[in-house]
Amino acid sequence: MTSGSGVNRTLIALAGMALLGTGLWLLGATRAVADHLPAGWPAPPADGVLLDREGLASLRETGWWAPAVLATGTVIALLCLAWAVTRTPVRGLRPTGSLSTARAELRLTALEATVCEDAHRVEGVARARCRIVLRRTSAHLTLRVWTRPGCAPADVLDALGTLSTTVEQALHPRGLRTRTRVSAQRHAAPHVR
């Protein structure tokens, strides 16, 4: 749970407990609070409750009741609307423009296949495997390469670095983190029977 969510839940719980306590207090209040009521508030009967049907009817007849209820309802509705608007994610408009070869978006699997083919074309590489993971602001390229027997890993690293730079340009504006693992392919030993 995030801190904003925790604060929201705490405030909602406190407001609910305050409303519940006030409601329970009004239900049980009788003559004990009659002396502390405002001057315009009608006094409850001796054996009645603070808010009964007759008391509410007399409140509705006063001139301030309707504007007070309307103002309170409006404030509560605006607060709920403001809360709902802050909870709605706002997505910015995507920029549009002409597609050129540099800005054309590729499907991720097509880009992975292209990277594997380009890595396989590097002299000394027997086979290659590629995985690209996109994050919100970055991308991760994991490249696994097996070299042919007799080829040193240092011989292929420069070409693979160039390949990584090309992928970074294709994924711009995301930053690219590359992890390359180079292994030597085992010599094919003849089997003797």
- Per-residue model confidence as pLDDT tens for the chain (193 residues): 566 677 888 888 899 999 998 888 777 665 566 667 777 776 666 666 666 777 778 878 888 888 998 999 999 999 989 888 887 766 555 544 443 444 445 577 888 888 888 888 888 888 899 988 887 788 888 999 988 888 888 888 888 888 888 888 888 788 888 898 888 877 666 666 6
The two structure tokens encoding residue 161: 């670095």
CB 177 within 8 A of CB 139: yes
pLDDT value for 17? 94
Closest by CA to 138, choosing from 100, 113, 181, 167, is 167
Is residue 131 helix, strand or coil?
strand
Is residue 144 helix, strand or coil?
strand
pLDDT value for 111? 84
Is residue 52 helix, strand or coil?
coil
The CATH 3.30.70.1350 portion of the chain extends over 108-184
CB 145 within 8 A of CB 182: yes
CB 183 within 8 A of CB 144: yes
CATH of domain 108-184: 3.30.70.1350
Distance from C-alpha of 149 to C-alpha of 125, rounded to nearest angstrom: 9
